[in-house]
Amino acid sequence: MKEKQSKKTNSYNFMAFLSRLKYINRWSLMKNTCTENIAEHSLQVAMIAHILAVIKNKYFNGNVNAERCALLALYHDASETITGDLPTPIKYFNHEMREVFKNIENKANEKIISMLPEDLQDVYRDIFTQNDGEEWILVKAADKISAYIKCIEEEKSGNNEFKEAKKSLYSHISKLGLSEVDFFMEKFVPGFYLSLDELK
């Protein structure tokens, strides 16, 4: 197999472009003791979304595709390779701002999808554009839980910058009314308060 340069017309930049998620940091308006990039966040959201689906199916009579949840979560912030991570106070400043940003996200996703061969584009468009259904609900819940965990980690490091964000996220998560989320928060989140030695 001969090495090829990415500028050649028969190559596709989709995966190389998405690999840049690791260079985009979250929480840009906040003082962080440990930076978190979008790639790290996406992996954690995928893991949480997957286990939320498993919990729902095993304990609460669910019939959710756990693998689909993980897949949607892996790509849920893909557009941020173009838009960057827009801070929540800006993104949700008002309804008009949210609608404008949603349109930008959609255009960014289409740009990324265009970096694939044409016969693969529909496969990824289906992943990038799903924004409803049971799987997506769990992805969005996992996204909030991941942010909440970040707040815990900052709090453990003595950083009070995330204090209000933690309260707000906990309130949001508590109001979701999802048994699988409540189970996760009760059984899995306490471990994030422990040190490495205490986890053993």
Band (44; pLDDT cuts 50, 70, 90): very high
Determine phi and psi for 175, rounding to 5 degrees: -90, 0
Q: Report the b/e string of 25-36 with b at 16+ CB within 10 A.
A: ebbeeeebeeeb
Among residues 146, 113, 143, 144, the alpha carbon closest in space to that of 128 is found at 113
Q: Where are the domains of the chain?
A: 33-192
| pLDDT of residue 65 exceeding 80 | yes
- Tokens at 122, concatenated: 């529909």
Tens digits of residue pLDDT in 103-123: 888 999 999 999 999 999 999
Percentage of the residues of the chain whose pLDDT score is greater than 90 = 78
Q: What is the mean pLDDT of the chain?
A: 91
Cβ count near 166 (within 10 Å): 18
Tens digits of residue pLDDT in 79-111: 999 887 766 655 655 777 778 778 888 999 999
> How far is C-alpha 158 from the chain's CA centre?
25
Among residues 57, 52, 65, the alpha carbon closest in space to that of 182 is found at 52
Enter the pTM of the model. Answer: 0.90
Which ranges in 32-132 belong to alpha helices (H)? 38-59, 66-74, 80-83, 88-91, 95-113, 118-129
What's the CATH class of domain 33-192? mainly alpha
Output the CA–CA distances (angstroms, integers) from residue 127 to 69, 103, 119, in the order listed.
10, 17, 15
Among residues 13, 9, 181, 171, the alpha carbon closest in space to that of 82 is found at 13
Contact 125, 72 (CB under 8 A): no
* Average pLDDT score over residue span 165-183: 97
| pLDDT of residue 49 exceeding 90 | yes
